[in-house]
Amino acid sequence: MYTSSKANHILIGHVISSETSVESSLQCMKYCARMANGQCKSFNHNKVTGECQLNNETGRDETDDMKIRKGYNHYYISKTEPIILP
């Protein structure tokens, strides 16, 4: 399951794969879920540009790698929280 950690935020330095023309955060989540060996632990999605970045880390905890970036939403795996998509 995934939950949004922060709107208008992006996790940088941990991108392992990128997709373009991804219309929804749900579609981006599916790319992440299908990645082999559970390598994808979070994703950044920009619904305006359609960019979907798959990450090998989460931005759930405070980290210098989490940056404010207008238009992006960061999602991470959570086993205890419900799925929240904008």
pTM assigned to the model: 0.85
Q: Is 62 helix (H, G, I), strand (E, B) or coil?
A: coil
Residue 21 and residue 40: Cα distance in Å, rounded?
19
pLDDT of 83 > 80? The answer is no
Residue 61 and residue 18: Cα distance in Å, rounded?
23
| Residue 26, phi then psi, degrees to nearest 5 | -65, -40
Q: What tens digit of pLDDT does each residue of 2-38 get?
A: 666 789 999 999 999 999 999 999 999 999 999 988 8
pLDDT of 79 > 90? The answer is no
- Predicted confidence band at 60 (pLDDT cuts at 50, 70, 90)? confident
